[in-house]
Amino acid sequence: MASFDVSKEVKLKELRDVEGDDEKECTLDGTVDGRGRPALRGSTGTWVAGYIILVNQGLATLAFFGVGVNLVLFLTRVLQQNNADAANNVSKWTGTVYIFSLVGAFLSDSYWGRYKTCAIFQGIFVMGLVSLSLTSYMFLVKPNGCGDEEHPCKKHTSLEIGLFYVSTYMVALGNGGYQPNIATFGADQFDEEHPKEGHSKVAFFSYFYLALNLGSLFSNTVLGYFEDHGLWTLGFWVSTGSAFIALVLFLIGTPRYRHFKPSGNPISRVSQVVVAATKKWTLKVPAGSDVLYEVEGKECAIQGGRKMLHTRGFKFLDRAAYVTSDDFGQENKNHPSPWRLCTVTQVEEVKCILRLLPIWLCTILYSVVFTQMASLFVEQGAAMNTTVGHFRVPPAGMSAFDILSVAFFVFLSRRVLDPIVSRIRNVKTKGLTELQRMGIGLIIAIMAMVSAGIVECYRLRFIQEDGTSSLSIFWQVPQYALIGASEVFMYVGQLEFFNDQAPDGLKSFGSALCMTSISLGNYVSSLLVSIVMKISTKDNMPGWIPGNLNRGHLDRFFFMLAALTAIDFVVYLAVARWYKSIKFEGKCRVDEDSDESSDHSSNINELESFRV
pLDDT digit string (tens) for 231-263? 889 999 999 999 999 999 999 999 999 998 888
Q: What's the pLDDT score for residue 571?
A: 96
Residue 442 lies in a domain: yes
In this predicted model, what pLDDT tens digit does every residue of 582-593 receive, in sequence order? Answer: 877 754 443 433
Statement to judge: residues 257 and 361 lie in one domain: no
In this predicted model, what pLDDT tens digit does every residue of 38-49 receive, in sequence order? Answer: 888 888 989 999
Sequence-distant (≥ 6) Cβ neighbours of residue 52 within 8 angstroms: 249, 250, 252, 253, 256
Q: What's the pLDDT score for residue 565?
A: 96
Statement to judge: residues 63 and 171 lie in one domain: yes
Q: pLDDT-derived band of residue 24, with 50, 70 and 90 as boundaries?
A: low
Residue 341 lies in a domain: no
Q: What's the pLDDT score for residue 3?
A: 42
Statement to judge: residues 358 and 257 lie in one domain: no
Among 387-391, 445-449, 456-460, 537-541, the least confident range: 537-541
How many whole angstroms separate alpha carbon 199 and alpha carbon 19? 18
In the predicted model, is pLDDT for residue 205 greater than 80?
yes
Among 274-288, 375-389, 414-428, 597-611, the least confident range: 597-611
Q: What's the pLDDT score for residue 475?
A: 94
Mean pLDDT, residues 178-203 taken together: 86
Statement to judge: residues 225 and 364 lie in one domain: no
Statement to judge: residues 445 and 575 lie in one domain: yes
Q: pLDDT-derived band of residue 333, with 50, 70 and 90 as boundaries?
A: low
Statement to judge: residues 258 and 356 lie in one domain: no
In the predicted model, is pLDDT for residue 397 greater than 70?
yes
Q: pLDDT-derived band of residue 330, with 50, 70 and 90 as boundaries?
A: low
- Four-residue CA torsion sign, 311, 312, 313, 318: positive
Average pLDDT, the chain: 83
End residue of a domain, out of 220, 238, 262: 262
CATH code at 559? 1.20.1250.20
Q: What's the pLDDT score for residue 586?
A: 56
In the predicted model, is pLDDT for residue 423 greater than 90?
no
Statement to judge: residues 242 and 363 lie in one domain: no
Q: What's the pLDDT score for residue 573?
A: 95
Are 339 and 275 in contact by the 8 Å Cβ rule? The answer is yes
The residue that leads in pLDDT, 581 or 116, is 116
How many whole angstroms separate alpha carbon 539 and alpha carbon 557? 19
Mean pLDDT, residues 133-154 taken together: 85
* Percent share of the chain, pLDDT over 70: 88
Mean pLDDT, residues 311-331 taken together: 80
Cβ count near 128 (within 10 Å): 24
Statement to judge: residues 361 and 227 lie in one domain: no
Sequence-distant (≥ 6) Cβ neighbours of residue 477 within 8 angstroms: 398, 401
Residue 336 lies in a domain: no
Statement to judge: residues 384 and 518 lie in one domain: yes
Write out the residue range of the structural domain in which residue 132 sits. 23-262
Residue 589 lies in a domain: no
Q: pLDDT-derived band of residue 329, with 50, 70 and 90 as boundaries?
A: low
Mean pLDDT, residues 515-540 taken together: 83
Are 546 and 377 in contact by the 8 Å Cβ rule? The answer is no
Q: What's the pLDDT score for residue 2?
A: 44
Q: What's the pLDDT score for residue 432?
A: 83
Residue type, 279: K
Residue 140 lies in a domain: yes
Closest by CA to 270, choosing from 30, 513, 509, 575, is: 509
In the predicted model, is pLDDT for residue 445 greater than 90?
yes
The residue that leads in pLDDT, 601 or 495, is 495
Strand partners, 388: 391
Statement to judge: residues 32 and 166 lie in one domain: yes
End residue of a domain, out of 262, 294, 312: 262
End residue of a domain, out of 228, 247, 262: 262
How many whole angstroms separate alpha carbon 419 and alpha carbon 234? 45
Cβ count near 397 (within 10 Å): 25
Q: What's the pLDDT score for residue 601?
A: 36
In this predicted model, what pLDDT tens digit does every residue of 504-525 receive, in sequence order? Answer: 788 888 888 887 887 788 788 8
* Percent share of the chain, pLDDT over 90: 32
Q: What's the pLDDT score for residue 23?
A: 55
Cβ count near 437 (within 10 Å): 22
Cβ count near 484 (within 10 Å): 25
Are 250 and 284 in contact by the 8 Å Cβ rule? The answer is no
Q: What are phi and psi of 13, to 5 degrees?
A: -65, -45
- Structural domain tally of the chain? 2
Q: What's the pLDDT score for residue 219?
A: 83
Q: What's the pLDDT score for residue 603?
A: 36
Residue 175 lies in a domain: yes
Residue 570 buriedness (CB in 10 A; 0-12 / 13-18 / 19+):
exposed
